[in-house]
Amino acid sequence: MQQLRVAVVGAGAAGLCAARHILSRPDTFAPPVVYELTEHVGGTWYYEERTGSYDNGLFIHSSMYRDLRTNLPKEVMMFPDFPFDPQLPSFLPHQEVQKYLERYCQSHCITPHIRFSTVVDEVSPVVTEGKGPMVTWEVTSRDKSGSRNTETFDSVFICSGHYSDPHIPSIPGLERFKGKVIHSHSYRHPEPFSGQSVVVLGAGASGLDISLELGRSNAQVTLSHGKPTLPFPLPYGVHQATPVEEIQEDGSLRFQDGSITQAQVLLLCTGYNFSYPFLEPARLGLEVQEHLVTPLYRFLMPPAFPSLFIIGICKIICPFPHFHCQVQFALAVLEGSVALPSRAEMEEEAQGEMARKVERGVQLRHMLKMDKEQWGYAQTLAQTGRFPPLPPVTQSLYEEVWRQRQVHPQNYRQLNYRLVSDTQWEQQELHAGE
């Protein structure tokens, strides 16, 4: 049998994971072509001090900020077959994750297959009629010199990341705000905000973490969000408010409860939009909205074109273990060891899943949140794709850390853990000061 040719868009954690597993199956797959728009691997984890655009005019990809530490311990965060350095603490500064990904790349000899400084402009299916319809993929890319190149593949893995295109909520009168408006995508460190009044909008991981950083840097922070009041004490200088409803004529912010404030900075920690500028969704039978892509069979592939895989679209997951399972399942599909249902059945399953969420009252923008469902999902992929499932200890330690994070958002990163077995972890001694 001829080896299958696979293109991988992006050399972040997902793209490296895809390349690693493709390279481990040389009987079926030719070495992949990995397209990467920057000059390095790591994606999100490559800290970029600049904001705005690169020299070539493309938007800066990474949303990493200078003092970020992981919110998952390395024992949960790791690819299950590639541990972090055992000497490191459980919660890591971003530089250590970048080093880890570089080591993963080197250990699996991926670098020679990456085309750096090469942006994918277009991925489109080509359908030819043989014994039945045959699909191949044309990938058009552009290198540093601007020269364009189109190549043909049997399959494409979209690993271009999901945290780069800032979601800007529609706030009536936003243009009237007289201070500075920035999105967390362009936040790097707290010093420029010292002594300033900052309204942080959104209390997801970015909103909460950045509010705490700003508070420590002597900014007066109003954390404005639509969640129930956060149940833990916030440090001096940080207080909560309801969501911003409007910017008034005089530039002041009016909150949902009617209270009003002036601020020098409005920092939008309001998440990210899905964005695949190189795809033509309608042609793939897909609908791409700001917070939703449908229909995707197993949150992974369009039923109309099941040789295209979008890795890591779900939220509230353990990203690296999740990619590890999705990639292996996708390769099992391509190898033919997973028999896919018909297009109609895949569509029905994907749409049924969404319909059940709507019935449960899940809002459109939360449809791709997995949370507790991630474990059953990963287990099903492993069973169907016939590869080792995630060890149960990943789930139990993830749940413990999640619990700690809800109670001690400022201190949970001081704890250290150790994996004792596939089913057991233990907590290690406390480290002083965070």
Ligand X SMILES: NC(=O)c1ccc[n+]([C@@H]2O[C@H](COP(=O)([O-])OP(=O)(O)OC[C@H]3O[C@@H](n4cnc5c(N)ncnc54)[C@H](OP(=O)(O)O)[C@@H]3O)[C@@H](O)[C@H]2O)c1
Ligand Y SMILES: Cc1cc2nc3c(=O)[nH]c(=O)nc-3n(C[C@H](O)[C@H](O)[C@H](O)COP(=O)(O)OP(=O)(O)OC[C@H]3O[C@@H](n4cnc5c(N)ncnc54)[C@H](O)[C@@H]3O)c2cc1C
Return residues touching ligand X (CB under 6 A): 68, 70-71, 163, 169, 184, 201-207, 209, 225-226, 243, 269-271, 365
Q: Select from ligand Y, ligand X, none the partner in contact with residue 36, using the beta carbon and a kind-dependent cut-off of 5 to 8 Å.
A: ligand Y
Task: Closer to ligand Y by CB, 77 or 171: give it.
Answer: 77
Site membership for ligand Y, residue 11 (CB under 6 A): yes
Q: Residue 218 in contact with residue 194, Cβ under 8 Å?
A: yes
Sole binder of ligand Y in the list 21, 33, 38, 211 (CB under 6 A) = 38
Q: Reduced to 3 states, what is the DSSP secondary structure of residue 432?
A: coil
- Residue 70 interacts with ligand Y (CB under 6 A)? yes
Binding to ligand Y, residues 106-125 (CB under 6 A):
119-120
CB proximity list for 359: less than 8 A, separation 6 or greater = none
C-alpha to C-alpha distance for 401 and 240, rounded to whole angstroms: 24
Which partner, ligand Y, ligand X, none, binds residue 160 by CB below 5 to 8 Å per kind? ligand Y
Asked if 213 interacts with ligand Y (CB under 6 A), we say no
Residue closer to ligand Y (CB basis): 140 or 379: 140
Smaller CB distance to ligand X: residue 126 or 358? 358
Token duo for residue 198: 């900052």
Q: Does 207 bind ligand Y (CB under 6 A)?
A: no
Candidates 37-45, 245-253, 280-288, 367-375 — which segment interacts with ligand Y by CB under 6 A? 37-45
Binding mask 142-171 for ligand Y (x = CB under 6 A): -----------------xxx-x--------
Q: Which is nearer to ligand Y, 90 or 222 (CB)?
A: 90
Interface segment toward ligand Y; rule CB under 6 A; list 4-12, 130-138, 291-299, 420-428 = 4-12
Q: Residue 219 corresponds to which amino acid?
A: A
Please state, in angstroms and rounded to a whole number, the distance separating the CA atoms of residues 13 and 193.
32
| Shortest distance (Å) from residue 21 CB to ligand Y | 14
Smallest distance, ligand Y to C-beta of residue 359, A: 29
Given the complex with ligand X, which of 108 and 176 has the nearer CB atom? 176
271 binds, among ligand Y, ligand X, none (CB under 5 to 8 A by kind): ligand X
**CA 34, 38, 40: angle at the middle one, nearest 5?**
75
Among 312, 330, 394, 398, which residue interacts with ligand Y (rule: CB under 6 A)? 312
158 vs 236: CA distance, rounded Å: 43
**Least spacing, CB of residue 183 vs ligand Y, in Å:** 11
Considering the rule CB under 6 A, would residue 45 count as an interface residue with ligand Y? yes
Report, in Å, the least distance between residue 61 CB and ligand X: 14
Judged by CB under 6 A, does residue 208 bind ligand Y?
Answer: no
Residue 135 CB partners (closer than 8 Å, separation 6+):
125, 126, 127, 305, 307
Residues 232-266 as b/e (b if ≥16 CB within 10 A, e otherwise) read eebeebbeebebbbbbeeeebbbbeeeeeeebebb
By a kind-dependent CB cut-off of 5 to 8 A, residue 119 interacts, out of ligand X, ligand Y, none, with ligand Y
Cis amide linkage into residue 295, ω under 30° from 0? yes
Q: Name the minimum Å distance from CB 44 to ligand X.
A: 8
- Per partner kind, with CB cut-offs from 5 to 8 A, the member of ligand X, ligand Y, none near residue 226 is ligand X
Both tokens of 204, joined, read 């997801």
- The nearest distance, CB 288 to ligand X, in angstroms, is 17
Distance set, CA 395 to CA 91, 171, 312, 374, 414 (Å): 17, 38, 18, 9, 20
In terms of DSSP bridges, do strands 33-35 and 6-9 run parallel, antiparallel, or are they unpaired? parallel
The dihedral through the CA atoms of 319, 325, 326, 327 has a sign that is positive
Q: How far is the CB of 233 from ligand X (least distance, A)?
A: 19
Helix axes 373-385, 319-335, angle to 10 degrees: 30
* Separation CA 65–CA 190 (nearest Å): 10
Q: Which two tokens stand for residue 107?
A: 């250990």
Choose the binding region for ligand Y from 65-73, 104-112, 147-155, 212-220 (rule: CB under 6 A).
65-73
Instruction: Kindly tell me which of 144 and 372 has the beta carbon lying closer to ligand X.
Output: 372
365 binds, among ligand X, ligand Y, none (CB under 5 to 8 A by kind): ligand X
The CA distance from 201 to 203, in Å, is 7
Number of Cβ within 10 Å of residue 389's Cβ equals: 17
Residues that bind ligand Y (CB under 6 A): 9-15, 35-38, 43-45, 61, 63-64, 68, 70-72, 77, 119-120, 159-161, 163, 278, 312, 319-320
